[in-house]
């Protein structure tokens, strides 16, 4: 199950680059984890390049605004790569008549692209950034809409592959849950964010803007999400620092402490082998 470390400083010297998840590692959607920011700032002072790699459906400048508002300073990272960034390429390559499935705040993902936003019945492509109201809705609420699209073989481009995310102390469904449900209904999906290769290619390219030469063996990924952060990093061949007090904490955290036997059993079930782990990034 990997070696537990007490501080990121324990392993920082082994790497040139850190690809760090955002939601669940740096903040929970409401509160910034101050110690995580301090850890990455310290690592950058020691020469580590830090690229934030997030499944946010927003483009990088919008994520910067969100991070500042929550309390994550710019000094934490060198670059940001978002699922929204890499998804724009999928949108540009797809049909021009698109329906945006998600809140209005996510319209930036379409800005500057040669596409036409249309009603659901006219759509030749669906760009899913989430739910219209993720506080109250589930994928089942979209059954009729998704079934109609599936029957017409309309592809769904998922801008955020996360299934759920922690907002404060609640779990909120993400676009990945919608995409998974669409696939169960027979629909076709297209995804570029974690755990898929395009977002990692983009993150490595961004890191090379900061440090021109490094092998993948000198890159560590940091994350808490099993189907996204963990699977994506391991499939890409990266060392992984697993943050145990993230979205899977209910599987093995008892009274605020990680039950190591339960964590080991969880990782074995998931066939995941992080090189390192710690409860929170500090």
Q: Are residues 147 and 221 in the same domain?
A: no
Using the 3D structure, point to which of 143, 176, 191 is the last residue of a domain.
191
pLDDT, tens digit only, all 282 positions of the chain: 799 999 999 999 999 999 999 999 999 989 999 999 999 999 999 999 999 999 999 999 999 999 999 999 999 999 999 999 999 999 999 999 999 999 999 999 999 999 999 999 999 999 999 999 998 999 999 999 999 999 999 999 999 999 988 787 788 899 999 999 999 999 999 999 999 999 999 999 999 999 989 999 999 999 999 999 999 999 999 999 999 999 999 999 999 899 999 999 999 999 999 999 999 999
- Please state at what angle helix 83-93 crosses helix 60-70, rounded to 10 degrees: 160
Domain span at 160: 87-191
Q: Are residues 34 and 110 in the same domain?
A: no
- Please state at what angle helix 197-210 crosses helix 83-93, rounded to 10 degrees: 120
Using the 3D structure, point to which of 146, 175, 191 is the last residue of a domain.
191
Q: Are residues 184 and 270 in the same domain?
A: no
| Reported pTM | 0.90
Percentages helix, strand, coil for the chain (3-state, rounded to 5) are 40, 20, 40
Torsion of CA 202, 207, 211, 217, to 10 degrees: -90
Task: Report CA-CA distances (Å) from 106 to 44, 66, 86, 239.
Answer: 31, 13, 15, 32
Q: Are residues 77 and 143 in the same domain?
A: no
How many domains, in total, are found in the chain?
2
Q: Is the peptide bond before 42 cis (omega within 30 degrees of 0)?
A: no
Q: Which of 195, 139, 147 is nearest to 172 (CA)?
A: 139
User: In the structure encoding, which two tokens stand for residue 53, read together?
Assistant: 């790699």
Q: Are residues 184 and 94 in the same domain?
A: yes
Residues 35, 273: Cα–Cα separation, whole Å: 25
CATH of the domain at 106: 3.40.50.1000
């Amino acid at each position: 199950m990997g070696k537990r470390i007490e501080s990121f400083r324990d392993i920082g010297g082994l790497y040139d680059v850190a690809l760090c998840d955002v939601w669940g590692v740096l903040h929970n959607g409401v509160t910034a984890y101050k110690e995580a920011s301090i850890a990455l700032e310290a690592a950058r002072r020691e020469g580590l390049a830090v690229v934030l790699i997030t499944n946010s459906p927003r483009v990088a400048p919008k994520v910067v605004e969100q991070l500042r508002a929550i309390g994550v300073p710019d000094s934490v990272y060198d670059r940001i790569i978002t699922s929204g960034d890499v998804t724009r390429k999928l949108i540009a390559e797809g049909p021009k008549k698109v329906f945006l499935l998600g809140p209005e705040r996510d319209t930036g993902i379409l800005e500057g692209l040669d596409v036409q936003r249309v009603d659901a019945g006219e759509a030749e492509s669906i760009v899913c950034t989430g739910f219209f109201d993720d506080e109250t809705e589930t994928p089942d609420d979209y059954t009729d809409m998704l079934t109609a699209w599936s029957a017409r073989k309309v592809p769904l481009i998922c801008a955020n592959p996360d299934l759920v995310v922690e907002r404060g102390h609640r779990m909120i469904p993400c676009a990945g849950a919608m995409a998974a449900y669409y696939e169960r209904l027979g629909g076709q999906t297209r995804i570029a964010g974690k755990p898929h290769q395009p977002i990692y290619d983009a993150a490595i390219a961004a890191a090379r803007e900061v440090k021109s030469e490094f092998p993948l063996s000198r890159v560590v990924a940091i994350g808490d999400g099993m189907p996204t952060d963990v699977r994506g990093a391991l499939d890409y061949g990266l060392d992984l620092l697993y943050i145990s007090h993230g979205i899977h904490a209910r599987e093995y955290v008892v009274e605020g402490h990680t039950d190591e036997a339960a964590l080991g059993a969880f990782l074995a079930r998931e066939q995941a082998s992080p090189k390192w782990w710690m409860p929170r990034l500090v």
